Amino acid sequence: MVMFSFPDGFLWGVATSAQQIEGGQREGGRGESIWDRYAATPGRIADGSDSSVACDHYHRWREDLDLMRWLGVGSYRFSIAWPRVLPAGRGAPNHRGLDFYDALVDRLLAAGIRPFVTLDHWDLPQALEERGGWRSRDTVETFIEYAHAVAARLGDRVRHWATHNEPWCISTLGHAEGRHAPGLTDPALALRVAHHLLLSHGRAADVLRLRAPGSEVGIVLNLMPVMPASPAPADRDAARRLDGTFNRWFLDPLFGRRYPADVIADRVRRGELPGSDLPFVEAGDLEDIAAPLDFLGVNYYSRSVVRAGADGEPVSVPMAPPMELTDMGWEVYPEGFFDLLVRLDRDYRPPRIYITENGAAYSDGPDATGRIADARRVAFYQEHLVAAHRAIAAGVPLHGYFAWSLLDNFEWADGYTKRFGLYWVDFATQERRPKDSAFWYRDVVTANAVPDQAAIPLQRSTRGCSRDLDTR
Ligand code: FCB
């Protein structure tokens, strides 16, 4: 079997986020987050659940760290729960909250696992939401205070810092589409929110560099290739528009190119902006946003194929068999991973890229023998890692890869109905059990190499589709 070897020092990791695994929401002085509030609102979460217990990681973190040691990963990407550190959003930091992460970081380092910290993985303190949340420019300052508090405590040991996770989700899903907390549905808000997130990123980056000298500071974006459903000019224009709002709206200003003019023109036409001067941008903001990045964190799950709707706006073409879909309904599209990485390198030249999330939701659970044969997840990882390897060979400065996720967890508005873990979690007993993908990933991490085929035989027929039928 051929093995695709990764460069020495390539960082292999697993990723989680606080809101999705910790639980312990009323413990240790933690305040309420916008996701606590959102989940408590009837009808918001698919299975009516919430994350008050989740994976109970707040109590079981030592056991979870043993799972990582068993996997052999060199890094763990986790997020700090903002309302654990600043329960009321402002004021003196809650030391008990910081103690929790302090102990986690020490124990990770003792196990030879590098902590890769995300400050904001969506759990804004509810107290700040009540003062305008990310719609308000004041939240930029409170984020900096938060970054300061965390870096003052952990900056002597944490060498990798991401400010925000997926600002597109916060701005668009949370403020334009209402599908995420805080559940607002005003498209005009999304750009303002995105700006405040980016501005707070740039300003917090300075704080992190000061408080954690020598560390790498970056941001995590969810990015995807957008393709037109046909070569027709209208469809191509729809693809341009979605690429603009989804990818370039964040990438361009971060890399010093200001906001994309074509997207601004689209928004003016739609009445979401009064004119080409963005009312929420103040002098100096764009320079602050473009603070040098040590790395770009990329979360990759799928691509999007769009056609032009009535007003030329992008409309997603539904993904259906024979395309292979995960339980999220997302197409498995590893080619897009390669394309995206090459494009990022060509168009933006980030000094380093880390894949901060990549993974797939499949519901496979234990069979009669207790084995969890998640062959589709193994195939997903294998194909995406081969694409990552090709990207490195093509010159992309890719330095690490984090599987999403260590554990099945609270998948936001989908509650517990979608399972992304390398470990299966029984949410009634909190038992963790390695899936076949955990064994497979352990082999990859240990060898620093990916086999040219999935070692475990695939059972794609159970999905009613196969590669042979694939029309891509
Ligand atoms: C990403 C999120 C992460 C997880 C995965 C499936 O958008 O960053 O928390 O929910 O999707």
Give the Å distance between the CA of 322 and the centre of ligand 1: 25
Confidence of residue 454 (pLDDT cuts 50, 70, 90): confident
- 17 Cβ closer than 6 Å to some ligand 1 atom: yes
Tell me the angle at which helices 57-71 and 436-447 cross, rounded to the nearest 10 degrees.
Answer: 50
Give the Å distance between the CA of 269 and the centre of ligand 1: 32
Average pLDDT over residues 60-89: 98
Angstrom distance (rounded) from CA 433 to CA 2: 29
Per-residue model confidence (pLDDT) at position 455: 59
Name the one residue in this structure whose structure tokens are 């009321």.
88
Is this prediction's pTM over 0.85?
A: yes
Look up residue 248 and give its DSSP letter.
I
Given the residues 216, 357, 383, 411, the one annotated as active site: 357
- 408 Cβ closer than 6 Å to some ligand 1 atom: no
| Beta carbons of 295 and 265 less than 8 angstroms apart | no
Query: Of 242, 194, 239, 240, which Cα lies nearest the Cα of 219?
Result: 194
Ligand 1 binding pocket mutation candidate from 411, 414, 416, 418 (most atoms within 8 A of CB): 411
Atom of ligand 1 nearest to the CA of 165: 8
Atom of ligand 1 nearest to the CA of 328: 6
> pLDDT of 87-139, one tens digit each?
999 999 999 999 999 999 999 999 999 999 999 999 999 999 999 999 999 99
| Beta carbons of 105 and 115 less than 8 angstroms apart | yes
- 19 Cβ closer than 6 Å to some ligand 1 atom: no
- 78 Cβ closer than 6 Å to some ligand 1 atom: no
Give the Å distance between the CA of 248 and the centre of ligand 1: 20
Atom of ligand 1 nearest to the CA of 222: 7
Angstrom distance (rounded) from CA 122 to CA 130: 15
- 165 Cβ closer than 6 Å to some ligand 1 atom: yes
Residue 328 CB neighbours (<10 A): 15
| Beta carbons of 104 and 61 less than 8 angstroms apart | yes
Query: What value does the mean pLDDT of the chain take?
Result: 95
Per-residue model confidence (pLDDT) at position 383: 97
Q: Quick one: CA torsion of 353, 455, 70, 419, rounded to 10 degrees?
A: 70
Give the Å distance between the CA of 275 and the centre of ligand 1: 34
Per-residue model confidence (pLDDT) at position 80: 99
Respond yes or no: is residue 166 known to be catalytic. Answer: yes
| Beta carbons of 201 and 286 less than 8 angstroms apart | no
Pull the structure tokens for residue 145.
Answer: 């205070």
- 118 Cβ closer than 6 Å to some ligand 1 atom: no
Look up residue 276 and give its DSSP letter.
S
Can you say how many angstroms the Cα of residue 437 is from the centroid of all Cα atoms in its chain?
A: 20
> pLDDT of 361-414, one tens digit each?
999 999 999 999 999 999 999 999 999 999 999 999 999 999 999 999 999 999
Per-residue model confidence (pLDDT) at position 465: 26
Residue 437 CB neighbours (<10 A): 30
Tell me if residue 210 falls in helix, strand or coil: helix
Given the residues 22, 129, 166, 331, the one annotated as active site: 166
pLDDT at 321 over 90: no
| Beta carbons of 403 and 442 less than 8 angstroms apart | no
- 330 Cβ closer than 6 Å to some ligand 1 atom: no
> pLDDT of 5-14, one tens digit each?
999 999 999 9
pLDDT at 284 over 50: yes
What order of strands is seen across the sheet that includes strand 314-316? 226-228, 304-308, 314-316
Angstrom distance (rounded) from CA 124 to CA 92: 17
Q: How far is residue 138 from each of residues 118, 129, 131, 135, 197, measured CA to CA in Å?
A: 21, 11, 9, 9, 11
Give the Å distance between the CA of 401 and the centre of ligand 1: 15
pLDDT at 469 over 80: no
Average pLDDT over residues 52-73: 98
- 304 Cβ closer than 6 Å to some ligand 1 atom: no
- 299 Cβ closer than 6 Å to some ligand 1 atom: yes
User: DSSP for 47-69?
Assistant: TS--SSSTT-HHHHHHHHHHHHH
Give the Å distance between the CA of 395 and the centre of ligand 1: 27
- 357 Cβ closer than 6 Å to some ligand 1 atom: yes
Phi-psi region of 89 (alpha: psi -120 to 50; beta: other; left: phi over 0): left
DSSP H stretches of helix in 212-360: 233-243, 249-254, 261-269, 285-289, 334-348
Pull the structure tokens for residue 213.
Answer: 């000298």
Give the Å distance between the CA of 53 and the centre of ligand 1: 18
Pull the structure tokens for residue 71.
Answer: 């996997």
Confidence of residue 456 (pLDDT cuts 50, 70, 90): low
Per-residue model confidence (pLDDT) at position 324: 93
pLDDT at 472 over 60: no
- 222 Cβ closer than 6 Å to some ligand 1 atom: yes
Q: What percent of the chain has pLDDT over 70?
A: 96
Respond yes or no: is residue 357 known to be catalytic. Answer: yes
- ∠ at Cα 106 (57, 110), nearest 5°? 105
Give the Å distance between the CA of 276 and the centre of ligand 1: 33
Atom 10 of ligand 1, residue of closest alpha carbon: 411
Q: What's the chain's length in residues?
A: 472
Atom of ligand 1 nearest to the CA of 20: 9
Atom of ligand 1 nearest to the CA of 412: 10
